[in-house]
Every structure is written in C-alpha cells, then in structure tokens.
Structure 1
Amino acid sequence: MTERRDFKGYFGAEPAPNWPNDARLAVSIVVNVEEGAELSIADGDERNERTYEIREEVIGHPDPCMETHFTYGTRQGYGRIADTFDRFGAKATFSTCGRAAERSPWLLQDAVARGHEVSCHGWRWERQAEMARTDEAVMIARTHSAIERACGAAPVGWHTRSAPSVNTRELLLEHGGFAYDSDAYDDDIPRMHNANHVILPYAFDTNDMRFSPGGGFVQHRDFSDYVIGAFDRLYAEGARAARMMSIGLHLRLIGRAGRIKGLEDVLAHITDRPNVWIAQRREIAAHWKGLAT
C-alpha cells in the first residue's frame, strides 16, 4: 500500500544546531485562548463542553458552572500569565479561537502590545476531523478574519484542537495566509511541508492540560518538575542536533492562583541557562524556512 505516514523522520540524519545566536534550544510557549469558544447550549451550540476542572456534562440545558470555569481564564488567568511573561522577558504565541477573539479583542490587543504573537486555533474549541471540506474551509477563513480584525494584523499560524481533518493542511495552503501549522506531535524538530509551509510540532506532555482531571498534574511543582526535566534533556541534546520545545498553557489552567508558580519556576530555570532562544512560533517558522531556501 502507499505509505501515508513517515515513521523514520530525521533518524540518522538530524540537522545540526542552527538557531540564532548559537542557541542550543528553541523554546516555544503557546497560550491557548479558548474562553468563549467552548461549546455551550446557552450560546446556541449543539451541546455543552464537558472538559474543564471537573468531568461533567449538563445535557440539554445551559451550564453556567462550566461557563464560569472558562471565564476565569480571561478575568484572572490572563493577567497573571501576561505579567509573568513580562517579568522574565518571554514572548509567547497566543493560539486563539475565532469566537474567543470576537468576544475578548481587548485581551489580544493587550497581548500584541506586550510583544506576543496571536495565531489561529479554530473558530470554536472543537476538533475538525468530522468536518465537511467546504464547511472547514469557511471556518478557517472566518477564524483568520476574526483574529485579523481583533489584532490589526493577519495571523500566520494554525493549530487544531486535537484532531484535524484529512483536508486541514491542504485548506490552509489554499487559503494562502498561513506560514505554519502545529498539527503534528511526532518530533522535537520542525520540518518543511513544501517550500513555503513549515510544520512546527506541538506537545501534550509539556502542557498544563495535564491539570485536567486524570491528567496527572495536581500541584504546581508537578508541572514545573516535568517541564524542567524535558527542557534539561532537550537542552543537552541541542549541543549536537537541532531541538525545539513546546510548552502549552491555558488561561483557565496555569492561570489559577495555585498553579501559576509552576510557570514562574519553569521560566526562572529556562532564563537562567545560556544559549536558549525563547521565540514566537512565527519566528521559529521563518527561521526554519530560511534555512531551507
């Protein structure tokens, strides 16, 4: 049969370290902005989101408990996270749902004013695997436009919640406004899809989503211990081969008062090491594309 998956990747031929200023590791911090884009019957959606601080779905009726758990992210979580980035001089990528951008444009405008990137994360907070091709194309264009309106600049990156469809990457290329996507979890090194489009792998392990019920993180140190361990290993490997690390955050998760110290400890550790490039994803994509041309 025709092979549709690449199991080998860079094995046996990993690219040498090549980051700016002789950095041994590129670190990408991604803040997922999903608040207001979660499925909610009160907003006219077909069902309520079931993944938040507890695992419970209200069926057939509005769920203000779930909604207020999400709203905590914009009301309190964002400020703590943004101020932490400022203290450590870290620039991040805010991966944002289109409906969230329409509801909280002030948040994205503040993030841009602080020097961060804003990228696309779908219209609603939902997977795309089951979407019809034409519906998905409309959704991608709608998301891109909403973020451009909110920020005053066109986004260049895309990341799907969980599973993209078999058409997603092709539709991004057809749209023409995207330089990269993050719909891959299979490497610690970027790669080119074609001459103009970069795939930047993302990660679910170095991610505060593991604070969700059953995810394994409970105390703030659970997050920092794991992420620092991954950083140290990739930093060591970065002496001989190109390495990129993704750290995934959510306003309503790491932004909680009992968890924010985990992010503070991670950034203190990373910024204490020489030769580390903390970069927006668009910067990493542009650099990698430049190496390929």
Structure 2
Amino acid sequence: MRDFVGHGPTAPLDRWPDGSLVAVNIVVNVEEGAEASWADGEGNDSWGEYTIPIDPTVRDLGTEGHFEFGSRVGIWRLVRLFERFDAPVTFGVCARALERNPPFAEWLRASGHDVLGHGYRWAEVSQMSEEEERADLERAMRVLPELVGRPVRGWYVRSFPSERTRRLAAAHPDLVYDSDSCNDELPYRVEVDGRPWLVVPYTKVHNDTRYFLAPTYAAPRHFAESLIGAADFLLDEARHGAGARLMSVGLHPRWSGQASRATAVRDFLHHVTTTPGITLVHRDQVVRWWIENVR
C-alpha cells in the first residue's frame, strides 16, 4: 500500500543525538566489475561515460574501459578526499566488484567506513525471477562480510527494485533496513510479512548520475552548488523548527572520481565540514540513532 503522508510537517527528532541539525550521508556506489560485460558472457552495459548503447552484437570496449577507470583510479581519488576531510561515508558495494579489486577490499576492511549491500552483480533485479534475485542477494551476503570483516546490515539494488525486493531483504537474518526508496529524506518504518522493517531513503537527485540525465550538470561546480544549496536549505529548515534533517548523496567512482568532477566532491566536503550544525555520518549510524530514539 502506498503512503502519501509520511512524517507530516515536522520530523520525529528536533536534532540528531550528537546535537547536529543536519546529518549528511555520502553513499559511494562501488559497481565497477559487477556490471554486465562480454568478458562475463553478459553482453554490454550502457552506464559508462556515454549513455549511447552500442550494438549488442558488438563488444563495447569503451564502456568497459570507463568502468575500469572507476576501480583503477576513481575510487582512490575519492578515498584520498575522504581521508583528507576525515569524512565518514557509506560504501554501497556490489560483491563481485569487491572481489575483483583486492587492494580496495583490503583498504575497506581496514577502514571504519560503513558497508551497504548493493547486490552480487550490478544488474536490474526487476528483470530477474524471484529465485534469481534471491540467489543474487544471498550470494552477496555471503561474500561481502567475508571481504570486509564485519556485518552488512543494509541493502539496495540497481535503479529499479522489484515488488519482491524488500520482502527478500527483510527475510535475510542479517539485514535490518533497505535503501531502495526515494520517497522521503528521513528513515521510516514499514511492516513486511507482519514484522517491522526500517527504510532509509536514498536519492536520485543529489546524485552524480545527473551528469548524464537531463537536465545535466554543465560543469562540476553545478553539482557542488546543488549539493551545497541543499545542505544549507535543510539547515535553515531545521533552525526554523522543521526538526532534524537527513541528506543523502550518491557518488560513483567512474564519474565523480574523474579529476574535474572530484572538485565538486572536494568543495562539498569542505563546506559541510566547516558549517556548524551539519555533520557527516555513516548510514548505519543513522539507523542506530533512529532505532534508539524514534518509536
């Protein structure tokens, strides 16, 4: 059943438990190596640097190269920025991508950053059978904790979840929330098969996919201005009584890891780390805050 009401005019919390008014959670989508490719007998994927799909009967080496840039160069550029600003972030990881990048897997395992399950493969689950989707989830949930050395508590899929995605995630004993919804900014509870389940919404707006989806960003500064404007507006809302705000940001190493576009990430990190009232958080930190403080 669809819900058109949500939390209503004010948030359940006046401010976050650490005293901040706005919590910013950056989610880095680690997908490179999990996308469809000829090398894996899966055809071509169209989400590289170009949005123009190549003839499916021809191997798309160009797009494969764009994905490889993300894991070879882009992820490390973003990592350096996060370390420079001492920024906690969430890595939404496809398990196959992590298997194919051992140096990053080792770094992530040694870090204190949050890990969000993003499938074994980076594939549209809406085009899978229920058995295929369940198998992908279960395989990812076996592989990811082994690679990162800690539990994975959240789940989200590629662009279009299926009608069964939430039910399958809620049935897994280690998962406590999903981030497949974009219908709110704050977490909220739903019921799945008679049990409470937490949803921590994601965003397709504060997301570097907008470099390719019309209306596109003509320059990285437009992305930075969009993110900074949103954070400042949320802070202003909270100061005027709307309650604690949460801002999600979606990044991809193959896009925001390009040198020019990384300037937008740098400028946004500088802004939020120097603005009183705003804090950077892990997604799992938000989950714990919500479970402990909102009934």
TM-score by length of structure 2 reads 0.93
Which residue type is aligned with residue 202 of structure 1?
Y
User: How does 1:59-138 map onto structure 2 within 5 Å?
Assistant: 59-138=56-135
Q: Helix, strand or coil: the match of 1:30? A: strand
Q: Helix, strand or coil: the match of 2:254? A: coil
Which residue type is aligned with residue 268 of structure 2?
V
- Which of 44, 47, 68 matches 1:48? 44
The count of aligned residue pairs is 289
- Mapped to 2, the partners of 1:270 and 1:89 lie a distance apart of 12
- Mapped to 1, the partners of 2:130 and 2:150 lie a distance apart of 26
Q: Give the drift of 1:196.
A: 5.6
- Mapped to 2, the partners of 1:287 and 1:109 lie a distance apart of 28
- Mapped to 1, the partners of 2:30 and 2:75 lie a distance apart of 9
Moved more, 268-277 or 22-31: 268-277
Unaligned segments of structure 1, at least 5 residues: none
Quote the residue 2:53 is aligned against: 57
Share of identical aligned residues, percent?
Answer: 36
- Mapped to 2, the partners of 1:113 and 1:129 lie a distance apart of 34
Q: Give the drift of 1:127.
A: 2.0
Q: Verify: 1:289 aligned to 2:262, yes or no.
A: no
Quote the residue 2:254 is aligned against: 252
Q: Helix, strand or coil: the match of 1:237? A: helix
Residue pair 1:101, 1:146 contacting (<8 A) in 2 also: no
1:24-44 CA distance string (max 9 Å, x none):
011110000000011112211
Which residue type is aligned with residue 48 of structure 1?
N
Residue pair 1:179, 1:282 contacting (<8 A) in 2 also: no
Q: Verify: 1:140 aligned to 2:137, yes or no.
A: yes
Unaligned segments of structure 2, at least 5 residues: none
Quote the residue 1:20 is aligned against: 17
Q: Give the drift of 1:13.
A: 5.0
Which residue type is aligned with residue 210 of structure 1?
R
| Residues 233 and 196 of structure 1: CA distance in aligned 2, closer, same or farther (over 3 Å) | same
- Mapped to 2, the partners of 1:146 and 1:177 lie a distance apart of 13
Moved more, 18-27 or 55-64: 55-64
TM-score by length of structure 1 reads 0.93
Which residue type is aligned with residue 139 of structure 1?
D
Moved more, 131-140 or 251-260: 131-140
Q: Helix, strand or coil: the match of 1:231? A: helix
Q: Give the drift of 1:198.
A: 1.8
- Mapped to 2, the partners of 1:131 and 1:267 lie a distance apart of 38
| Residues 13 and 257 of structure 1: CA distance in aligned 2, closer, same or farther (over 3 Å) | closer
Q: Helix, strand or coil: the match of 2:126? A: coil
- Which of 5, 8, 18 matches 2:2? 5
- Mapped to 2, the partners of 1:257 and 1:170 lie a distance apart of 40
- Mapped to 2, the partners of 1:44 and 1:154 lie a distance apart of 31
Q: Give the drift of 1:165.
A: 0.9
User: How does 1:189-228 map onto structure 2 within 5 Å?
Assistant: 189-194=186-191, 197-212=197-212, 214-228=214-228
Residue pair 1:50, 1:56 contacting (<8 A) in 2 also: yes
1:162-193 CA distance string (max 9 Å, x none):
11111111111111111211011111211123
| Residues 238 and 113 of structure 1: CA distance in aligned 2, closer, same or farther (over 3 Å) | farther
1:48-96 CA distance string (max 9 Å, x none):
0012211232312322111110010111111110110111111111101
- Which of 36, 39, 64 matches 1:39? 36
